[in-house]
Amino acid sequence: MKNLFLKGKNLLKEKISDNEFKIWFADLTYNKFDKNCLYLHTANFFKKEKILLSYKKLLQHIFCDLSDDIKDIAVSYERSADTGAAQKDSFLEHNSPEYGSGNIKSNQAAAPANSAHITVKDGLKEQYRFDNYLVADFNRLCYDFTDKLISNISRISPFYIYGGVGTGKTHIIQAIGNYIKKNYPFFNIKYITPNEFVSDFTKALKNKTDREFRLKYRQLDCLLLDDIQFFAGKEKSSIEFFHIFNEIFVPGKQMVFCSDMPPDELNDIDERLKSRLSSSVIVELNRPEFADRKKLISFFLKQYNITIEKKIIDFLAANLPGDVRKINGAVITLASLQHIYKKDIDEAYCRKHIRQLIAARDVSNIPAERIIFSVANYASIPWRDLKSRKRSRNISYYRHIIIYLLKKYGNLSFPEIGNYLGGKTAGAVHNGYHTVEKGLKESAALNDVINSILQKF
């Protein structure tokens, strides 16, 4: 029967879109066959509900055609398999208090009766809201899932959003938090990054305040974790977060995660945490294409009360990178200059005042070897040295630039980049990428180097 299930799953893949299959059926497994009913298993409640609501008839048609013995389909899900026993390797004690269900029936949430309550700063920024979030083709799927999430808190949990730098991940995860804060005022909400979690965890170990540390996270109704990839290389902290994850997940509370990569590409973090994250509802935020960039530019122009000709909007959309943050920055720059100099904005004006952003125009799917050769020619370094294990300062500098360009413009995963560079680990590649990403925010010289190399593509 298991082979029949695999055959049916392959037939299903042919009948629906790749995106539908990836979201709803990638982790669907065979459970058992009993009394003419085929029992299937999925990762969480929301996936089970969606499959039964939208796809049950299709599944029945496929599997009943494959075997006359199958008369019905049932789908189950499981909260957690190793909560409790898995806590034996925790660096803190975990004697969990009792929890409620975490399910929300209405937006009139009652204040929790918790005698050991610890006040938690939510970490939210008020400027990130849904009323100033533009929905376009590149982010519509993510927005639609988010809309379902805030309509029924805890039903889509965990929710995992991934996408490149500047695709709007922080805005949407913070907007979720601000919506819940407004509509469920007694909820305990926390927005945090791995670095902040590591800092909290280290202080708890040092000051022996483990009880307060545990309670602060256990009492949360909603945990929002941004840039989860930064748990890479922080073994103790990622193990501890795995236990925190279980203690929030089991009672059915809301969790949202953001990353620049899908869970299966996360490296150097606790494997059980990686497995948990893989069972989330996973949605990708794509980069804005030309039409999306036009909408974003028009949206920001309206926000800053600027009027420019349509042909200039088209010029900006064609030449600005697919990065929401940079598009916003370009519009802010033009708005400020127009306010100061009272001049109309034309193409020459844009080329003069936002030339750095225009030079870094969006390119994608560049062959890896072309990127490596372009950097080698610019740096006057033999390309074989850049792919070797040599670690001189100059070679390491340009090797990091190659890593950044391969990820951003070659659309390669960190493990794939490691293979191109002589078998480097995904963790080393990840660190190299973020070294350049951080440097671009601080160094004009590095920006000039990247832009000069991009001009050669």
- Whether residue 376 is contained in a domain is answered as yes
Strand 222-225 to 189-192 pairing:
parallel
Q: Concatenate the DSSP letters of all residues of 341-407 into one string.
A: H-----HHHHHHHSHHHHHT-------HHHHHHHHHHHHT--HHHHTSS---HHHHHHHHHHHHHHH
Q: Are residues 217 and 273 in the same domain?
A: yes
Whether 18 has a pLDDT exceeding 80, the answer reads no
| CATH number reported for the structural domain that contains residue 55 in this entry | 3.30.300.180
Residues 50 and 130 reside in one and the same domain: no
Confidence tier at 116 by pLDDT (50, 70, 90): very low
Whether 336 and 433 map to the same domain: the answer is no
Higher-confidence position of 16 and 268 = 16
For residues 115 and 123, give the distance between their C-alpha atoms in angstroms, rounded to a whole number: 23
Same-domain pairing of 158 and 306: no
Q: Is the sign of the CA dihedral 262, 161, 356, 444 positive or negative? A: negative
Q: Which residue has the tokens 């080329």?
A: 351
Rounded Cα distance, 446 and 182, in Å? 42
> Does some domain include residue 110?
no
Residues 298 and 423 occupy one common structural domain: no
Tell me whether residue 100 is in a domain. Answer: no
Other residues' Cβ atoms within 10 Å of the Cβ of residue 295: 17
Give domain status of residue 345, yes or no.
Answer: yes
Q: Which residues contact 210 (CB under 8 A, 6 or more apart)?
A: 92, 93, 204
> 175 and 280: one domain?
yes
124 and 249: one domain?
Answer: yes
- Answer with the one of 341, 359, 377 that is the final residue of a domain: 359
Tell me which DSSP letter residue 73 carries.
E
Number of domains in the chain: 4
On whether both 232 and 157 belong to a single domain, the answer is yes
CA distance linking residue 218 with residue 96, whole number of Å: 8
Do 125 and 242 lie in one domain? The reply is yes
Say if CB 403 and CB 436 are below 8 A apart. yes
Q: What is the span of the domain harbouring residue 28?
A: 2-77
Looking up residue 340, the CATH number of its domain turns out to be 1.10.8.60
Residue 15 confidence (pLDDT): 87
The answer to whether position 419 is within a domain reads: yes
Give residue-wise pLDDT tens across range 151-197.
Answer: 888 778 889 999 888 899 999 999 999 999 998 887 889 999 988 98
Indicate whether 91 belongs to any domain. no
CATH code assigned at 178: 3.40.50.300
Residue 103, in any domain of the structure: no
* Whether residues 351 and 441 fall in one domain: no
**In the listed set 285, 313, 344, which residue is the last one of a domain according to the structure?**
285
| Distant-in-sequence, close-in-space partners of 235: CB < 8 Å, separation ≥ 6 | 268, 270
CATH number at residue 402: 1.10.1750.10
* pLDDT level of residue 104 (50, 70, 90 thresholds): very low
Q: Identify residue 438 by its one-letter amino acid code.
A: K
User: Is the domain of 138 the same as that of 193?
Assistant: yes
Q: Final residue of a domain: which of 328, 359, 390? A: 359
Structure tokens given for 118: 């610890």
Query: What percentage of the chain carries pLDDT values higher than 70?
Result: 86
pLDDT, the chain, mean = 81
| Residues 55 and 38 placed together within one structural domain of the fold | yes
The answer to whether position 19 is within a domain reads: yes
pLDDT band at 95 (very low <50, low <70, confident <90, very high): very low
pTM higher than 0.85: no
E strands, 9-49, in order = 29-34, 37-42
